[in-house]
Every structure is written in C-alpha cells, then in structure tokens.
C-alpha cells in the first residue's frame, strides 16, 4: 500500500475529503501508528532485530575509541534516525582485530563501580547505563579510529506529506493498520459516527500485529545461555 493509497483509503473509510481531513493530519496519524508498530516489533523478541525496510543503510555504525574514555553515547545513525536501543558492541584493537564486548549490568558488579576494571586496557564489558549510552569496563588504553562498532534498532522511516509511492516499511499484512489508525484519528477529531466501529477494527489490527511479531522465529528454539568470566557468573 503506497502513501497515496493510504490517503485515499483513509478518506474513503472516514467519508471525508482533503479539506475536512488534510494530508498533514493523515501523515501525523500514520507516523504515530508507526511508532507503536516499531515499539511492538523491537520488544517482541530479542533474537529478531526489526528494521524499517525503507532505510537505505544497515543499522550498524562506528565511532572512535578514545584512550581512557569510558562513556560513549549513540543518539542517531549517520542518516539522522534516532537510535532506540543498542543490540551489540564490538571493539577493535590497534592491530585491527575485532572482539565482541560482553554486556553487563551494574547489579552484577559486586564492588564499587569506579573500582571495577578501573585500569585502562583491553575492553571486555559494556554496561548500558541509558538507552543510548554505554560504559566500558575497562576503558581502552589506546586510541583507535572507528574502533567501536555498534549495532542498533532505530526509529522508522517516517512519511512526509509529499510522499506518493512510499510504502510502510513493514510486512504487507500489517499495512491496513495504518489506514484504520488514521481513519480512527479522523473520526475521533471530527466526532464521526463510525468511531466505535473503527475502534473495534483498530483493536483487531493491533492484535494481528502483536501476533505477527510474536511468532516470527518459528525456525528457532528458545534457549538459555550461561556467560562465565573470571569475575562473574550470570544467566
């Protein structure tokens, strides 16, 4: 479903024209719904990293590794999309060898945080102290250009009012939800008589979306991995 089709179907379902419900209003509604879809997709299963298919670059970035610096923030990707969550961090040493960092949490460190791996050296762990901020243990003892590689999930590729052929960057089976959500917002704002019917349809579309994202990994089995190191053992 293209954006032009989304506009037409929304207005047909709402029985309004562009003067009564503008393209800008439908754009707002579609993007708000997209945020909800992205939230479900990202939260559904940590083994399936969802990304909007309209993004032209992979959700991978790099930043310089700075000697003695522990904290690093990752707010946006190179195209300006907001990073919502980090999924993996690798680091590169001065010889060009990449190593995966092990995620750790403050509650797993049984000593003062400032004393844990306080001597700069080869980073081993990272703690996500906020959605987009990490802390290395230990800090690197060398500068390495583009020495941190981060993998992430980000905001969708939003619609703008001038779009025509662009489609929502999710499975086609979920496209109808954008129409229903936009028509629902229209009915709510204008006090249309089909508000209740649209509310029921929106609940159906939401349930379909939740079921879709909760059942994608049928070719994989759930399992528990145990990580062990010289200081900690945790599930």
Query: Please, what is the angle between helix 176-190 and helix 195-214, to 10°?
Result: 150
Cα gap 199→25, rounded to integer Å: 18
Q: Is the pTM above the cut of 0.85?
A: no
Cα gap 141→25, rounded to integer Å: 52
Q: Vertex 61, ends 85 and 59: CA angle to 5°?
A: 55
Token pair of 188 as six digits: 């709510």
Distance linking the first and last C-alpha atoms of the chain: 43
Token pair of 27 as six digits: 């754009």
Whether residue 118 is preceded by a cis peptide bond, meaning omega within 30 degrees of 0, is no
Return the residue matching tokens 């129409």.
179
Return the residue matching tokens 């992979």.
58
Delimit the domains of the chain by residue range: 3-52+159-214, 60-155
**Each residue's pLDDT tens digit in the chain (235 positions)?**
999 999 999 999 999 999 999 999 999 999 999 999 999 998 886 667 889 999 999 999 999 999 999 999 999 999 999 999 999 999 999 999 999 999 999 889 888 988 888 999 999 999 998 878 999 999 999 999 999 999 999 999 999 999 999 999 999 999 999 999 999 999 999 999 999 999 999 999 999 999 998 876 554 555 544 444 444 444 4
What kind and span of H or E run contains 210?
helix 195-214
Strand partners, 134: 72, 128
């Amino acid at each position: 479903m293209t954006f032009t089709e989304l506009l037409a179907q929304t207005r047909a379902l709402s029985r309004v024209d562009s003067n009564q419900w503008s393209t800008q209003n439908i754009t707002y509604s579609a993007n708000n719904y997209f945020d909800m879809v992205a939230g479900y997709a990202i939260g559904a299963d940590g083994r399936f990293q969802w990304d909007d298919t309209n993004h032209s670059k992979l959700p991978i970035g790099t930043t310089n590794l700075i000697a003695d610096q522990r904290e690093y923030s990752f707010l946006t990707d190179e195209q300006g999309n907001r990073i919502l969550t980090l999924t993996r961090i690798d680091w590169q040493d001065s010889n060009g060898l990449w190593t995966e960092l092990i995620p750790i949490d403050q509650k797993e460190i049984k000593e003062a945080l400032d004393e844990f791996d306080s001597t700069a050296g080869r980073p081993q762990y990272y703690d996500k102290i906020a959605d987009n901020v990490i802390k290395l243990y230990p800090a690197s003892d060398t500068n390495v250009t583009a020495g941190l590689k981060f993998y992430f999930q980000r905001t969708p590729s939003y619609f703008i009012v001038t779009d025509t052929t662009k489609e929502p960057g999710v499975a086609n089976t979920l496209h109808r939800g954008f129409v229903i959500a936009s028509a629902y917002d229209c009915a709510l704002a204008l006090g249309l008589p089909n508000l209740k019917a649209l509310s029921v349809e929106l609940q159906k579309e939401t349930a379909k979306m939740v079921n879709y994202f909760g059942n994608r990994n049928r070719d994989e089995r759930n399992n528990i991995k145990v990580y062990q190191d010289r200081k900690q053992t945790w599930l």
